[in-house]
A and B are shown apart, each in its own frame.
Chain A
Amino acid sequence: MAIRTLDRTLFALALFAFMASDPADATAQDPSDRLRALNRSDRVDVTSIGRSAGGADLLLATVAGPGDGGGRPAVLVLAGEQAAHAIGTDVALAAIERLSDGYGSDPEITSLLDGVTVHFIPLLSPDAERSSRQRPVHETRRNDQPRDDDRDGLVDEDGPDDLNGDGWITMMRIEDATGEYTEDEDEPGLMRIADPARGDSPSWRLLVEGRDDDGDGRFNEDPKGGVDIGANFPRRYPWFESVAGDYPLSAPEARAVAQLLADRDEIGMVVVFGTRDNLLSPWKSNPAGEPGSEGERVREPLKFALAGDAPWYAEIARRYRERTGRSESDTLGVRPEGGDPLSWAYFQMGRWAFGSSVWTPPAAERPDSTTAIPEDREAASDSASRSGSGDSRTSEASDPVAAERRRLRWIRANRPEDFLDWEPVDHPDFEDRRVEVGGFRPLTGWTPPATIRDSIVRKEVEFLIDIAMLLPRIEIVESKAESLGDDTWRVSVRIANTGYLPTRTRLADRLGRPRSVRVDLETNGQELAGGRAVRLLEALPGSGSAEELTWIVVGKGNGRVAVSAGSASAGRDRKEIQLR
């Protein structure tokens, strides 16, 4: 076991700071190369678990203490579901580095990695990330699966175009009284849906910057690529939305993750650094009451967390907010669930699942209630994605106009170059109209200012280490054999969960996966006269909660029995008990 020196750790942190990417900087280093570079450590193992639609490796980095044969409880960390959320990938890479460097030098990390393995998929959509590094810079959520979005028989034939040649794909507005948009009075430059009832006169059409390349009267309706990995998971899957693909898990990237989690019972916790959140605003149980009583089948897929799980979600979210200083109002701009890996990991796979959006433009005002629905669905989802204001299913989303106002206000005060003022262009499809190009600079919606980026990343990494240490841990805390005379004994044990989290979610109890704690009484020539040789336990709450089990055995046999208890995701323990 290599003990890493403090110098080495400092060097690594410095190196990380140097490598941290600006997602809008097309010269930034490929995150997959950054990940492969981390493979040099003894503690990190980087393998490919599949290929993206565009043929890029989907890399899995496993960080483990020595001697892990895959038997330890594990955490799975996911990041990089869309190009604009490069900050999530930064957090994952920094965490890999922190864990691998801390092993042997930092006692907390050493003890963590001796008991828990942490898997990382830092880049869920390598294709989208690669596309975002091409000029002109276009924010895309799509992998490289060719897709005939407009079903005209041609594939990827009408993507955006950089009309003003500034290297960015932003928005364009066309002066047109048949349009639906007006310029916001509170935040000049911001476009929002006009509300004639309030006296707004619609004066602009709003579209993604580009031409009608295929002459069908629609703009940028069939851009390059296909599927948004963050919309391709099965829970609340957005059917028939073109970027969601043809069916859930149709994208090889999402499918590889699903297969990994289905195959690995030891993964008891999934942490997503992405565009969804349940740490600022934790999942709650149904205020109308728990659906289906214990053991009874629920009639519909759950929309709320189970009452038995909600308190842990609430407490961990509280700890997250405390560590990061973020607040529930920072969820403005977080993308609503639907096709996402975060809620899928809990609601369909039964795992403890935590999601951090890492950074959104901080609150400076109260949200209002105006709702914008851009005229073109693709434009809507792209602009919403750019602004970080959720997807096109606005009915469930946080208010996009409020989020965009907040974002623009923050940009004007902190990073004015991230909003490109509207500038006139000549547009071949609108020769007699005023056309202007401008709006939010792509790939900036989730990117914190450079001055605070390292400290934000560090807080997220420390939080990840915190919650990895909260995994359940099964221990046999008491064991005894009480003689009843005549070579008969009552064997009893107390099995405790000395970790913080319950041995599995209540949802997993209903799902049957991941597997529950199994308790075996191993006899050695004795007759088992009472109790079952094999027992499966329902979720055991943490912080030392225990369950007592007893058996009656007859006959001395070789003078001892043994009890083993545990599960793949909660660890195992075994005790021998002398019969005397």
Chain B
Amino acid sequence: MTSHLNVSAAAVNFIIGASLLALLPTAAWAQQSPPGAMAGLGAPPDPQVAVSWDRYFDHETLGEIGRRLEEAWPDRCRSSSIGRSVEGRDLWLLTVTDFQAGEADAKPAMWIDGNIHANEVQGSEIALYTAWYLCEMADRVDWIAELLRDRTFYIVPSINPDGRDNFLLEPNTPHSPRSGLAPRDDDGDGLFDEDDFDDLNGDGHITMMRRRSSNGRWITSPEDPRIMVRAHADQPGEWELLGNEGFDNDGDGRVNEDRRGYYDPNRNWPWRWAPAYVQSGSDAFPTSLPETRAVVEFVLAHPNIAAAQTYHNTGGMILRGPGTESDSVQAADLRVMDEIGERGEMILPGYRYISIWEDLYTTWGNELDWFYAGRGIITFSNELWTSFNYFRESPENERWDRADYRFDRYLLFGEAIVPWTPVDHPQYGRIEVGGVKRQYTRAIPGFLLREEAHRNMAFTLYQAGQMPLVRVDSVEVRSLGSGVSEVRALISNRKLAPTRTEQDVVHGISPPDRIRIEGGRVIAGFRIENPLQGIAEEQEHRPERIEVERIDGMGTVAVKWLVRGSGPFTVTVESAKGGKHSLRSP
């Protein structure tokens, strides 16, 4: 514990370590700078909640950090739960906004989640870092204060908390588990989860098994003896590779074939869900998993969500839909995504902005596609961490070859790899186990995690900043005589994203934007098609509430009314995803 507590750093209120929490009794230290120091930019010098952003938090600690943020910043952060996992863990939600400025659920909102794949853990830290940074920096940075005034963030750091704790706390490979923990009979033998990995050498890691054999086809690499490489086709080998650590627990002749879980939570979503003969891991039906369903129901209940990010790892990608070839993104929406995605490639060196099916692989029933196609929300999925980061070079360079092992040797000094260790296997006899620890290749080394968190947050905040935001720019009143006034209003959205995506408009997902007038009896109401020439189209029904399909990104709409009375008149624009704003005529 004490190793994480820096008592001499006077600004620390409390520091949160791996799974232990300590509240320093000396709250008086808060809000002070340590003597003789200059704070670095892009980091709160005196955080109310000190968190070590070089580690991975279990479910309990994620929740605790959220509650500490709420305690420290009650007007900026509220902690709650949107539902429970298969094993009963809460899906923690942090709602981050300026609670003093307007109603949280009425502002244009961004959804951020992470960790749908259990082993893709750092999405949670990055989501949580975002909440923390927004809270801790709003007093220092005007842009963030404005962002919180105008927008709301719904942040669920982990939407697979069962799988998360299993990954962090149980022996695993870097790739296991991807699933949640609802029991499934993977091998169809009527038993559930009866043949999982086994940590043969008891080191807390599931690595690889090898057996010395003159009939094997593998040899050790001359460059690094920890690496196994294939023998040349005309050369004998020295080793057999036997897969991940484990034995045949159920005596069916197969090893590790029915592990805890197994399904793919990111194939369980309603849009273009496909049965297992097309999409493996999709589970019995769309939203069969309580975690999926909790998110779906939350999003349906929060029509103000206008943007979304769902963090995965790995590979350095900013993914957009669609996940399947026969699906498509509406052309107008693609232009908005391209703008944001290309900005992301600058913010995130080594990341590529690409489409899922075209540039990666086909996925049916993924979360991102449901957000975009099912709900009309502009959504990205960042694949966090890229091997570009090992040496800040692209794969063409020779240093790319087994860069993970080189990075381990020169920067981690061997910490990332379990050396080959002899062990007795109940079925294979004398073997060796060794290889990459679960903390490596997908999860980010501690000293780089904070940078990765910050850059990805920055991209996501850029997207949040470009969500639609409606304003009544002007209300002009002209008397037409006979006690009748003509009231003209100009409404704008000075953000990149339209108030409704094309997908939303085409399928009628959100209501149209509405512009209301108060202050007199409305005789007629009009949308002004061409403000310069004054061509107007009447809205015959409910003229006091003019409907417009959407307000484009960086766009305006003009409306007018004929009203009995001379004012003043109040014009209000209401948009499900663009917010609400009123202006009164002089």
Contacts and interface: CB of A to CB of B under 8 A. Distances in A.
Nearest to B374: A247
Contact of B284 (A258, A515, A533): A258
A215 B190 CA distance: 60
Contact of A152 (B185, B284, B511): B511
A234 B252 contact: no
A347 B276 CA distance: 11
B541 A215 contact: yes
B275 interface: yes
Interface in A205-254: 215-217, 234, 237, 239-240, 246-249
A17 interface: no
A565 B190 CA distance: 13
Contact of A248 (B185, B270, B284, B511): B270
Contacts of A240: 507-509
A532 interface: yes
A348 B374 contact: no
A190 to B, nearest CB: 31
A487 to B, nearest CB: 23
B275 A301 contact: yes
Nearest to B326: A300
Interface in A494-524: 507, 510-513, 515-516, 518
Interface of B: 185, 188-190, 251-253, 270-271, 273-278, 280, 284-288, 296, 300, 326, 362, 370, 374, 507-512, 540-542
A513 B540 CA distance: 56
B456 to A, nearest CB: 29
A198 interface: no
Given A258-B284, A298-B277, A348-B285, A536 B188 contact: yes
A349 interface: yes
Contacts of B508: 151, 240
Contact of B287 (A153, A216, A247, A536): A247
B276 A515 contact: no
Contact of B296 (A151, A247, A298, A511): A247
Which secondary structure dominates where chain B touches chain A? Answer: loop
A534 B189 contact: yes
B275 A347 contact: yes
Nearest to B273: A234
B541 A216 contact: yes
Given A216-B541, A247-B374, A248-B287, 13 more contacts: A217-B541, A234-B286, A240-B509, A248-B286, A249-B287, A262-B284, A262-B285, A262-B288, A297-B277, A512-B276, A516-B188, A518-B190, A536-B188
A299 interface: yes
Contact of B285 (A246, A258, A515, A533): A258
A336 B509 CA distance: 25
Contacts of A516: 188
Given A299-B278, A348-B285, A534 B511 contact: no
Contact of A217 (B251, B285, B510, B540): B540
* B277, B278, B280, B507 pick with most chain A CB within 10 angstroms: B277
A234 B288 CA distance: 12
Contacts of B288: 258-259, 262
Contacts of B273: 234, 248
B271 to A, nearest CB: 8
6 contacts: A216-B541, A247-B286, A247-B287, A258-B285, A297-B278, A349-B284
A511 B275 contact: yes
Q: Which 9 A-B pairs have the closest CB atoms?
A: A262-B284, A510-B277, A217-B541, A151-B511, A247-B270, A240-B507, A348-B275, A534-B252, A258-B285
Nearest to A262: B284
B255 to A, nearest CB: 14
A518 B185 CA distance: 13
A254 B185 CA distance: 24
* B185, B189, B370 pick with most chain A CB within 10 angstroms: B189
* B285, B511, B540 pick with most chain A CB within 10 angstroms: B285
A5 B274 CA distance: 50
A254 to B, nearest CB: 10
Given A215-B542, A234-B285, A248-B270, A533 B252 contact: yes
Nearest to A240: B507
Contacts of A234: 270, 273, 285-286
Contacts of A299: 278, 362
Given A239-B507, A246-B300, A515-B185, A301 B278 contact: yes
Contacts of B287: 247-249
Contacts of A301: 274-275, 278
B476 to A, nearest CB: 28
Contacts of A300: 274, 278, 326
Nearest to B272: A301
A349 B278 CA distance: 13
Given A152-B511, A246-B300, A532-B253, A511 B188 contact: no
A262 B276 CA distance: 13
Nearest to A507: B277
Contact of A297 (B280, B374, B507, B542): B280
B373 to A, nearest CB: 8
Nearest to B547: A152
A532 B542 contact: no
Nearest to A261: B284
Contacts of A534: 189, 251-253
A133 to B, nearest CB: 31
Contacts of B374: 239, 247
B527 to A, nearest CB: 15
A35 to B, nearest CB: 26
A452 to B, nearest CB: 38
B511 A511 contact: no
Interface string A4-43: 0000000000000000000000000000000000000000
A215 B541 CA distance: 7
A4 to B, nearest CB: 37
Nearest to B542: A216
Contacts of A511: 275-277
B488 to A, nearest CB: 24
Contacts of A302: 277
A291 B129 CA distance: 47
A234 B374 CA distance: 14
A297 B296 CA distance: 28
Contacts of A510: 276-277
A395 to B, nearest CB: 18
* A217, A262, A301, A518 pick with most chain B CB within 10 angstroms: A301
Contacts of B285: 234, 248-249, 258, 262, 348
A512 B277 CA distance: 8
A511 B188 CA distance: 11
Contacts of A513: 276, 284
* B274, B280, B296 pick with most chain A CB within 10 angstroms: B274
